[in-house]
Structure 1
Amino acid sequence: MNTGSYFEAIDEHRFKPTAHASGAWSVDEYHFSPLGGLLVHAIDQHLAGRPDDGLVSARISFDILGRLPLDECEVRVETLRPGRTIELLEAVALIADRPVVRARAWRLAAGDTSAVAGGGAGPLTPPEELARWPMGSVWPGGYIDSLDVRPVAPPQPGRATAWISSPLDLVAGHTSSNLASYVALVDTANGIGVRQSPTDWMFPNVDLTIHLHRQPEGRWTGLDTTVTFGPTGQGITSTVLHDINGAVGYAQQLLTVRPL
């Protein structure tokens, strides 16, 4: 893998994945994390052609519509609900002309509410004070191999808190926003505190929903994660999201749980 990115742009809407985007359930499929980041990047590019409207993305939801083969993808973005203070955008990723991921982003007006801000979780131990963890000992694939993972404490079944970062660009030759780079790491949450070994059980997520009360900053994505399995084949991965300054929001992933 001699490339420094997860994707290479073919044109404005089409992207070729590199081997770094592969895994974790199969190395010939996408790991959803970089693909999710790519959809946010596409939304950013869509907005770049418009005057700055002062809105920020406060909720981004992804529905994974099927298998994600590690092939060229196309991303299309449209405005579903225009507005001066609230807007809803949709980005759809297609592989072989088949929609495979649908993302929706609610963008809300930004303003100064610092006088009443509060209620989030306290900051995590800084990543510079923590040792790296070889997450590839649990999961295969180029995406996991690309990461710098630093647990705050040793991961336990169903419970982990860790910092994640990557030295790679999201799209070769393109500068991505802090938000796109941050979101490109969030889906890793489902793999840092596994309840059961992925060699014995499958628990892929069918969605990812991110709610933000503050826009993330810096190169580190902090994940304070709890994984719950129910008794009838469903599970939830719940995460408090952090950046280097503290909590920024929450993520939820719905899991389908079944034995291999």
Structure 2
Amino acid sequence: MDAAYAAAEEGSYHASELTRGPWHPEHQHAGPPSALVCRAFEQAGAVHGLTHLGRFTGNLLRPVPIGALTIEVAEDYVGRSVGHFSARLIAGGKDVARFTALLQREADVPVPDGTPGHPLPEAPRAPADCPPVTMPFAGRLRGYGDLVENRVAEGRFFQGPCSIWFRLRHALVAGEAPSPYQRALVAADSGNGISACLDFARYSFVNGDLTVNLLRRPVGEWICLQARTALAGNGCGLAESALYDEAGLIGRATQSLTVRPR
């Protein structure tokens, strides 16, 4: 299948090998299912004219298997300007992740000239000026490293703080063009991996959550993560990423890490 997912009946999907993550050959990387749930949130918000995804939070309860998935979305509250939604991601009859989202109604409110802190910063380098790179785990088995292509804006892959561009090589859902928000969510969960500062062979450092805040709709196909991992020495850590498109800063992502020796 030349896409991360194939849609079945309403709310049900089948994951392809392109969703495979680096931790286990039968488990998905958290980026693609997060983007799939983002798609469901976008559809729920559009009914009310809520077109901007301001915040997306995922609580990753169990590994997400490569196979059949179901998404159930609930409308928690919809007001004049914002709506709060929640969702369950279900596999094998169990909740494997739960999500919440804030969607906002957009309005034309230009930023006045001279506003402090504006214009917002840009990514370190444009993707056209950056060398391509392949994720170290790509090629062993077809997976996430084949779903996306990468270019290095600064630093080095898996050796501490770095800035990496992401672009989807394949559709998220077969027969559909991914939305800008879906492109951002596919990439946003990778901050922990690309800025890894521990040896994969000696340590695991899995994130149990993902929160993404976006200030505007991304433009174009490329998303840059300027990522850093911080470790506390207590078996816990934090990965944080500034997110950019080719026009500049679009938001931030954070992940809580559990660090253990293998």
TM-score category by the smaller chain? Answer: over 0.9
Between 1:110-119 and 1:181-190, the stretch displaced more is: 110-119
Q: CA deviation at 1:215?
A: 1.4
Between 1:61-70 and 1:152-161, the stretch displaced more is: 152-161
**Take 1:210 and 1:120, find their aligned partners in 2: how far apart are those partners?**
18
**Take 1:175 and 1:237, find their aligned partners in 2: how far apart are those partners?**
29
Question: Which of 28, 34, 48 is 1:30 aligned to?
Answer: 28
Gaps of 5+ in 2: none
SS of match in other structure, 2:163 = strand
Q: CA deviation at 1:213?
A: 1.3
Gaps of 5+ in 1: none
Alignment check: 8 A CA contact 2:235 2:260 kept: yes
Structure 1 residues 57, 165: CA separation in 2 closer, same or farther (over 3 Å shift)?
same
SS of match in other structure, 1:31 = coil
Matches within 5 A, 1:1-260: 3-48=1-46, 50=47, 53-116=49-112, 118=118, 120-137=120-137, 142-155=143-156, 157-260=159-262
SS of match in other structure, 1:37 = helix
**Take 1:247 and 1:183, find their aligned partners in 2: how far apart are those partners?**
15
**Take 2:2 and 2:242, find their aligned partners in 1: how far apart are those partners?**
29
Alignment check: 8 A CA contact 2:82 2:104 kept: yes
Alignment check: 8 A CA contact 2:6 2:14 kept: yes
**Take 2:180 and 2:165, find their aligned partners in 1: how far apart are those partners?**
16
Report the TM-score, using the length of structure 1 for normalisation: 0.92
Alignment check: 8 A CA contact 2:42 2:53 kept: no
RMSD after superposition:
1.8
Structure 1 residues 249, 140: CA separation in 2 closer, same or farther (over 3 Å shift)?
farther
Report the TM-score, using the length of structure 2 for normalisation: 0.91
**Take 1:119 and 1:258, find their aligned partners in 2: how far apart are those partners?**
41
Structure 1 residues 160, 123: CA separation in 2 closer, same or farther (over 3 Å shift)?
closer
Between 1:184-193 and 1:29-38, the stretch displaced more is: 184-193
**Take 1:194 and 1:172, find their aligned partners in 2: how far apart are those partners?**
32
**Take 1:103 and 1:19, find their aligned partners in 2: how far apart are those partners?**
23
SS of match in other structure, 1:114 = coil
Map Cα deviations across residues 53-83 of structure 1 (whole Å, 9 max, x no partner).
Answer: 2542111111101122222110011110111
**Take 2:82 and 2:40, find their aligned partners in 1: how far apart are those partners?**
19
**Take 1:23 and 1:213, find their aligned partners in 2: how far apart are those partners?**
28
SS of match in other structure, 2:244 = strand
Map Cα deviations across residues 70-127 of structure 1 (whole Å, 9 max, x no partner).
Answer: 2211001111011121210112110012111111111123223322463633333111
**Take 2:229 and 2:138, find their aligned partners in 1: how far apart are those partners?**
16
**Identity within the alignment, %:** 24
Residue 77 of structure 1 aligns with an amino acid whose one-letter code is V
Between 1:19-28 and 1:119-128, the stretch displaced more is: 119-128
Alignment check: 8 A CA contact 1:159 1:227 kept: yes
Structure 1 residues 21, 138: CA separation in 2 closer, same or farther (over 3 Å shift)?
closer
**Take 1:121 and 1:31, find their aligned partners in 2: how far apart are those partners?**
29
Residue 17 of structure 1 aligns with an amino acid whose one-letter code is A
Q: CA deviation at 1:205?
A: 0.4
Map Cα deviations across residues 189-239 of structure 1 (whole Å, 9 max, x no partner).
Answer: 211121112111000100000011121111111000010111100010010
Aligned length: 256
Residue 132 of structure 1 aligns with an amino acid whose one-letter code is P
SS of match in other structure, 1:242 = strand
